Amino acid sequence: MVLLQLDPFLNELTSMFERSNEKGSVWVTLKRCTSSLKSKVQRNKMATAGEAIEYRCLIRATDGKKTISTSVGAKDHQRFQASYATILKAHMTALKKRERKDKKKAAEGDKKEGAAKKPKRV
Amino acid sequence: MVYITSWDEFVERSVQLFRADPDSTRYVMKYRHCDGKLVLKVTDNRECLKFKTDQAQEAKKMEKLNNIFFTLMARGPDAETSEVTGKEQMDAQPTKKGRGRKQ
């Protein structure tokens, strides 16, 4: 599996979302990993010695065919988080908007929802 | 596995699950555009919590959960999640486990 830098990962994630528009799903997994240390024993030793452990968050994404991954540390996770949220917001357009309570304009509402479901391609 | 229907319960239980075993807990998001469905899963390979939705509103809430997990995973279990969530209930949890604070 390829471990990408943050920006290439985000680009690839974007195209994964675009490719799965017609059919298919996208999975994104977050998992903690401690980059520099190989074994759990080693980690525990450090923890008892009171040494600081550097945590990183491993992010994997797949569309069932291709898998990409990256990892963020304490320094850059906030920046990554913001870009990641933007991508999600831009691509999760098939989710339903909140249902309106007044059903008088149901016909109009349907049209609007239909339009909302199909994101305008640029 | 049965889906959890309440969002707050899902968040609370998944954070608890992570804190109990941060090394083997993972958080998976699955998005299916053609069906307009979003499934969130948190598991430590023993217990599995799932949440399913098709509402755009819940996706906004998910953003907050993403922030919680990014913070917890990248900064370690002692990281404050309250600044991201603005929820006070999260404050009470780190002290209980006290991981990595043996002095």
Sequence spans of domains, chain A: 2-117
Least confident of A107-121, B5-19, B63-77: A107-121
**pLDDT exceeds 50 at position A13:** yes
How many beta carbons lie within 10 A of that of residue B75, not counting itself? 20
Q: Nearest 5°: CA angle at A1, between B25 and B69?
A: 30
Q: Residue B71: what pLDDT?
A: 92
In chain B the domains, ranked by start, together with CATH numbers, are: 7-93 (3.30.720.10)
The more confident residue out of A78 and B81 is: A78
Handedness of CA B57, A14, B74, A1 (dihedral sign): positive
Q: Residue A49: what pLDDT?
A: 75
Cα dihedral angle (B90, A54, B23, A78), rounded to 10 degrees? 50
Taking an 8 Å cut-off on Cβ atoms, the answer to whether A94 and B33 are in contact is yes
Q: Residue B87: what pLDDT?
A: 44
Instruction: Tell me the two tokens of residue B56.
Output: 């755009």
Residue B70 DSSP symbol: H
**pLDDT exceeds 70 at position B6:** yes
Interval A14-42: pLDDT, tens: 999 999 999 999 999 999 987 555 566 77
Q: Tell me the chain A residues in contact with residue B38 when contact means C-beta distances shorter than 8 Å.
A: 92, 95
Best mean pLDDT range from A90-94, B39-43, B72-76: B39-43
Task: State how beta strands A56-62 and B48-53 pair.
Answer: unpaired
The answer to whether residues B57 and A98 touch, using CB atoms and an 8 Å cutoff, is: yes
Interval A60-73: pLDDT, tens: 999 999 999 999 98
**pLDDT exceeds 70 at position A48:** yes
Confidence at A3, pLDDT banded by 50, 70, 90: confident
d(CA B74, CA A72): 7
**pLDDT exceeds 80 at position B55:** yes
Q: Is B97 exposed, middle or buried (0-12, 13-18, 19+ CB in 10 A)?
A: middle
Among A31, A44, A83, pick the best mutation site for testing chain B contact (most B Cβ within 10 A). Answer: A31
**A-B contacts at Cβ under 8 angstroms:** 121
Q: Nearest 5°: CA angle at A85, between A81 and A91?
A: 145
d(CA B18, CA B79): 13
**Which of A24, A89, A92 lies closest to B38 in CB terms?**
A92
Taking an 8 Å cut-off on Cβ atoms, the answer to whether A23 and B34 are in contact is yes
**Which of A17, A25, A77 lies closest to B74 in CB terms?**
A77
**Which of B35, B57, B76 lies closest to A55 in CB terms?**
B76
The dotted CATH code for A2-117 is: 3.30.720.10
List helix spans (H) across A1-122. Answer: 6-19, 40-48, 77-91, 106-117
Average pLDDT, chain A: 81
Taking an 8 Å cut-off on Cβ atoms, the answer to whether B70 and A80 are in contact is yes
